[in-house]
Amino acid sequence: MTRLLIATNNPGKVRELQELLAELPVPLVRPYDLGITTEVAETGATYAENARLKAEALAAASGLIALGDDSGLEVDALGGAPGLHSARYAGPGATDADRRAKLIQALREAPAPRAARFRCVIAVAVPAASAAPAVHLFEGTCEGEILLEERGQNGFGYDPLFWLPDQGRTMAELPNPLKNRLSHRGRAVQAALPWLHALLTGA
């Protein structure tokens, strides 16, 4: 049976992607499920390059269609930082709470509103028997502002600091169905779903 490999073992990303991709007619698997321990260095200069690196590497290691994503938080007052380095913003071994604390400290003197956006690029790599995997890219963004105090228990990463003016709540205060519709990752998946359906069903 055809399966779709989610090219990450990050629990937060896995949970969101499983919800976002639930309508697909194939099982979703993680590298962990297949005993794959490949570590992909995120050496790209863009989200698209990093997403492609992950998807290509996991497609090659598994022989399955692989979906990789790369995402980040871009804060205007910080010149677009942490951006590509969002997951490594507070250094090796740091927790989500550490990264949020560093961001709050960096923005103490920045006047409100502290405009920011989440950006996500999804890459889907399709293995080919005699060539490099074909890779297709899809992007989603979500505009908002950064608070200097955490609000909400849902989500992960920077979600408790990411304020959505239209909703009057942070990303971490949204119920999952609404978050999945509005988030950067949700929008990237929504862009990819019609193509994925056609690929996986042959329609």
Give me the tens of pLDDT residue by residue for the chain, a chain 203 residues long.
589 999 988 888 888 899 999 999 999 999 999 999 888 888 999 999 999 999 999 999 999 999 999 999 999 999 999 999 999 999 999 999 999 999 999 999 999 999 999 999 999 999 876 667 789 999 999 999 999 999 999 888 999 999 999 999 999 999 999 999 999 999 999 999 999 999 988 75
- Catalytic-role residue among 33, 69, 70, 159: 70
Contact 1, 27 (CB under 8 A): yes
Residue 190 to residue 170: CA distance in whole angstroms: 21
Contacts of 153 (CB under 8 A, 6+ apart): 160, 172
pLDDT digits (tens, 9 = 90+) for 101-150: 999 999 999 999 999 999 999 999 998 766 677 899 999 999 999 999 99
Q: Over the chain, what HEC string results?
A: CCCEEECCCCHHHHHHHHHHCCCCCCCEECCHHHCCCCCCCCCCCCHHHHHHHHHHHHHHHHCCEEEEEEEEEEEHHHCCCEHHHHHHCCCCCCCHHHHHHHHHHHCCCCCCCCEEEEEEEEEEEEEECCEEEEEEEEEEEEEEEECCCCCCCCCCCCHHHEEECCCCEEHHHCCHHHHHHHCHHHHHHHHHHHHHHHHHHCC
Q: For the structural domain made of 4-201, what CATH number should be given?
A: 3.90.950.10
Domain positions in the chain are 4-201
Residue 21 to residue 137: CA distance in whole angstroms: 16
The reply to whether 70 belongs to the active site is yes
Angle between helices 184-201 and 11-20 (to 10 degrees): 60
Mean pLDDT of the chain: 93
